[in-house]
Chains A and B, each alone.
Chain A
Amino acid sequence: MKTTREDYVRYYLDSAKKIGIPIEPLTQSIVKTAEAAWAVDSYKVEPSDEPAEKSPRRRIH
């Protein structure tokens, strides 16, 4: 279970290695993404935060 920033960074780098991505040149991007994921996962959005009605969408084709 990932909880700390270090857990996230380790998870993302390990995941990238597992799917054959060459880590070395891409470390900075992967680490920054891991940090973003850690922040995103830490912010809990409660069901009550989501309104029952969504604003209408319009598109002109």
Chain B
Amino acid sequence: MMPEPYKLTASEASSMIKQGELTPVDLVESLLERIKELEPKLDAWVTVDAEGALKAAKALTMEAQKGSLRSPLHGIAVGVKDIYATKALRTTMGSPLYHDHVPDRDSNVVARLREAGAIILGKTETTEFAYLDPAPTRNPWNTEYTPGGSSSGSAAAVAARMCPLAFGSQTGGSVMRPASFCGVAAMKPTHDLLSREGIYPQSWSLDHVGFMSRSVEDLKLTLGALTGIQAQSLIKKPRIGVPTSYFNEAGDEDVTRNYEETKEKLREAGGEILDFKLPDSFRFVHQAHRIIMFAEAASVHEAMFKETPNLYRSHMQGEIASGLVIPSSTYLHAQRIREKFRNELTASMSGIDVVITPTALTPALKGLTSTGDAAFNVPWSLTGFPTVTIPSGLTDEGLPFGAQLIAGPYEEIKLLSVAAWCELALPFDAEPPLQ
């Protein structure tokens, strides 16, 4: 018996649409029902474009019935973080300053998605300007907990099976961390692999496009449809570097225990687990990241902040105010540290396929006032290296852990191959306990 369409992963739905066993209309209608049922509890969406999605679904259904499929994303409904411009669809940046803003054109990624036959289901909740002031979204695993951020709505929507695929962005940890908190897979490709044109900037040189799904297969499908990069065969015996400092001690007790268990499972599955020494420049990466991010964010917001400071929430106010007083020499020092770290890391990684770390310092936090800490993700946002997170277990309270894999620049094929291998070694079939 065919499962309810909303339960399908993107790959499963894609295959069924190709075989003529499912129509894009069926998929969208099932997802809209799911959203109607769960949205009052989860608040994952700013705007659901039911009319637009169904109109697109009907057109794509007709194309499919004529045998014309645009890509493996043909007919797949996606959520898009509400900082991506979407033509004629309200885009608020999570801020009252853009409450009624309606872009007149799509961002580059959204345009590509539409060309590939994907359907924009709606705009998912973001923290204010993709920083730390929380969105109202709740974690589907326990609605008293944060889903993380800043791509809060996208992570929650995918975890809750409201859409099989959703897009976010990461400047510090805003794709990896919410994906980990919500028990979904996610990818942040190399910094400039996917265009950020039309995505409201937090920090130009740190912002990354990212996306979330329920499997590594879906990540491969998405990357392939958008870039032509095809991750093919599984790697046989991945060489997985484990940092000998910081990541094995900075996380909380539960995360550290899960990390040890994860490494052991990967070793038992036949992976080569190797010590990986972090370069000396690692000591300053978090500080360098803060300086760069704050200076660039202040530059984005300077004019609006001076006019309407009180329309910003407290974290944004702190970021902009601090950023406005950073001297250019300090900003440039930070960029030089960044370049040094990037070069040293590239050299260090020559003997391994990927580095593995926990994705987040903690599981999801109780309450909605904090979206968590991006410390385990910041170094890879700073370097622009591609990362993937996959679920790696549950706490005793039923909240997900994540394992983060990092590869060298433009090594997406290797990264996804290792991620697929790890996914087999770390099976995770749990679902959020939603009615």
Contact = CB atoms under 8 A, between A and B. Distances in A.
B198 to A, nearest CB: 12
A43 to B, nearest CB: 5
B297 to A, nearest CB: 11
Contacts of B321: 16, 21, 26, 29-30
B325 A19 contact: yes
Given A16-B324, A33-B322, A36-B287, A58 B330 contact: no
Nearest to A30: B322
Contact of B318 (A19, A28, A49, A61): A28
Interface string B189-233: 010111100000000000000000000000000000001100000
Interface of chain A, main secondary structure: helix
Contacts of A25: 314, 317
Nearest to B334: A40
Contacts of B336: 45, 49-50
Interface string A21-55: 10001101110110111011101010001110001
Given A45-B333, A50-B336, A59 B319 contact: no
Q: How large is the interface on A (under 10, 10 to 19, 20 to 34, 35 or more residues)?
A: 20 to 34
A40 B294 CA distance: 14
A39 B334 CA distance: 10
A33 B317 contact: no
Interface stretch (B2-10, B243-251, B338-346, B418-426): B338-346
B409 interface: yes
B343 A51 contact: yes
A15 interface: yes
Contacts of A49: 336, 340, 343
Contacts of B334: 40
B290 A36 contact: yes
A36 B325 contact: no
B108 interface: yes
Contacts of B327: 37
Q: How large is the interface on B (under 10, 10 to 19, 20 to 34, 35 or more residues)?
A: 35 or more
Contact of A21 (B227, B281, B288, B324): B324
Nearest to A47: B336
Contacts of B228: 60
A19 to B, nearest CB: 6
Given A28-B318, A33-B290, A37-B291, A60 B227 contact: yes
Nearest to B330: A37
A26 B317 contact: yes
Contacts of B311: none
Contacts of B339: 45, 50
A60 B432 CA distance: 36
Interface string B408-432: 0110000000000000000000000
Contact of A40 (B108, B227, B287): B287
B326 interface: yes
19 contacts: A15-B325, A16-B325, A25-B314, A26-B317, A26-B318, A28-B318, A29-B321, A33-B323, A33-B325, A36-B287, A37-B327, A40-B330, A40-B337, A45-B333, A45-B337, A50-B340, A58-B190, A58-B410, A61-B195
Q: Which 6 A-B pairs have the closest CB atoms?
A: A29-B318, A33-B322, A36-B287, A15-B325, A39-B287, A45-B336
Given A43-B333, A60-B194, 5 more contacts: A12-B325, A25-B314, A29-B315, A50-B339, A60-B228
